[in-house]
């Protein structure tokens, strides 16, 4: 089974860990729009693409016994390196030396023993721009601190998607979108034009994994239907919406078919990898509605 996870951040890393338990043919298509924290500092210094989400997703599919994998998330705590993760520095170093974002990710994936493939959603770094009821907001960090978002777009307006990302989506048997921050992670990857077109063209079953709850302030007050309608406004129309049955969205309706399952960890704070894997497997084999 060929599966693809689209999005960014911790949410897509969780999806990748779940999918990895189901198949070796897994691809992550990952946003490079982040501009906060270590990633933002490195972008400002070196004018490179955002690497933080790529780092998280590489670790999700990497050999856990590989020494590089074990150190990839380590953060320095002193001096000018304070706050920087080892993986971020390695990625931007390769990008700065080679000028090739895709090849840099591919090279690190190889030495980390990654199962499957991690591909940036665009071939170059992008800036997120949100249209809200109160005006425009620029930059992923600022958008994440904004409410009343109506649409998002990227600058440059038409960034190219890697051929590997497009082909992975088009050839997939199952595409998982999310979970994660709706506008700043999930849609930040999906609105790259080539990714949007591939999602529309694929014959794969596309599943949106909804967040466990609204995210304040980015999606404050959003219902499950609001989340799905935002996806559809941006050209992403899932075949099914996977929802935690015990969470606030569990009893809500959606413009697309809803599948309810036990998805959250014991504290109800994040998606549980094993539970998510079981729910996705049921969808993929037709055992879920």
Give the single-character DSSP code of 267: T
> DSSP letter string over 255-266?
SS-EEEE--B-T
Instruction: Return d(Cα 201, Cα 63) in angstroms, integer.
Output: 32
**What's the CA angle centered on 189, arms 9 and 222, to 5 degrees?**
75
Rounded Cα gap, residues 89 and 96, in angstroms: 10
pLDDT at 288: 63
- Domains located in the chain, CATH noted: 3-37+116-284 (3.40.50.10680)
Strand locations in the chain (E): 3-7, 26-30, 117-120, 127-132, 135-138, 149-155, 174-177, 205-209, 240-244, 258-261
Helix/strand/coil for 238: coil
What was the pLDDT predicted at 267? 86
pLDDT at 289: 53
Check residue 284 and give its pLDDT: 87
Q: What is the value of pTM for the model shown?
A: 0.94
pLDDT of residue 2: 97
pLDDT for residue 287: 66
pLDDT of residue 272: 97
Class of residue 172 by CB neighbours under 10 A (exposed 0-12, middle 13-18, buried 19+): buried
Give the closest residue to 14 by CA, choosing from 177, 237, 202: 177
Best CA proximity match to 56, nearest among 92, 19, 81, 30: 30
Any idea how long the chain is? 289
User: Contact, 215 vs 244, CB < 8 A?
Assistant: no
pLDDT one digit per residue (tens) for the chain, 289 residues: 999 999 998 999 999 999 999 999 999 999 999 887 887 787 877 778 889 999 999 999 999 999 999 899 888 877 777 788 898 999 999 998 999 999 999 999 999 999 999 999 999 999 999 999 888 999 999 999 999 999 999 999 999 999 999 999 999 999 999 999 999 999 999 999 999 999 999 999 999 999 999 999 999 999 999 999 999 999 999 999 999 999 999 999 999 999 999 999 988 889 999 999 999 999 988 766 5
CB burial class (10 A; 0-12, 13-18, 19+) of residue 1?
A: middle
Q: What is the pLDDT of residue 69?
A: 93
Per-residue pLDDT, 36: 78
């Amino acid at each position: 089974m060929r599966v693809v996870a689209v999005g960014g951040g911790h949410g897509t890393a969780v999806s990748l860990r779940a999918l990895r338990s189901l198949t070796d043919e897994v691809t992550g298509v990952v946003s490079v729009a982040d501009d906060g924290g270590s990633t933002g500092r490195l972008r400002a210094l070196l004018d490179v693409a955002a690497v933080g989400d790529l780092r998280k997703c590489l670790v999700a599919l990497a050999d856990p016994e590989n020494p590089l994998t074990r150190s990839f998330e380590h953060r320095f705590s002193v001096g000018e390196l304070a706050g920087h993760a080892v993986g971020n520095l390695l990625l931007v170093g390769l990008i700065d030396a080679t000028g090739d974002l895709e090849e840099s990710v591919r090279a690190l994936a190889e030495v980390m023993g990654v199962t499957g493939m991690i591909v940036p959603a665009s071939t170059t770094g992008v800036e997120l721009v949100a249209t809200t009821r109160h005006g425009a907001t620029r930059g992923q960090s600022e958008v994440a601190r904004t409410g009343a978002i109506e649409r998002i777009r990227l600058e440059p307006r038409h960034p190219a998607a890697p051929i590997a990302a497009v082909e992975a989506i088009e050839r997939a048997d199952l595409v998982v979108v999310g979970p994660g921050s709706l506008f700043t992670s999930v849609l930040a990857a999906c609105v790259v034009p080539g990714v949007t077109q591939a999602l529309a063209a694929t014959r794969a079953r596309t599943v949106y994994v909804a967040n466990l709850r609204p995210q304040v302030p980015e999606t404050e007050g959003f219902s499950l239907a609001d989340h799905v309608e935002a996806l559809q406004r941006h050209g992403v129309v899932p075949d099914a919406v996977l929802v935690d049955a015990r969470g606030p969205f569990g009893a809500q309706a959606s413009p697309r078919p809803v599948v309810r399952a036990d998805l959250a960890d014991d504290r109800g704070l994040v998606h549980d990898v094993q539970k998510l894997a079981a729910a996705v497997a049921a969808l993929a084999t037709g055992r879920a509605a």
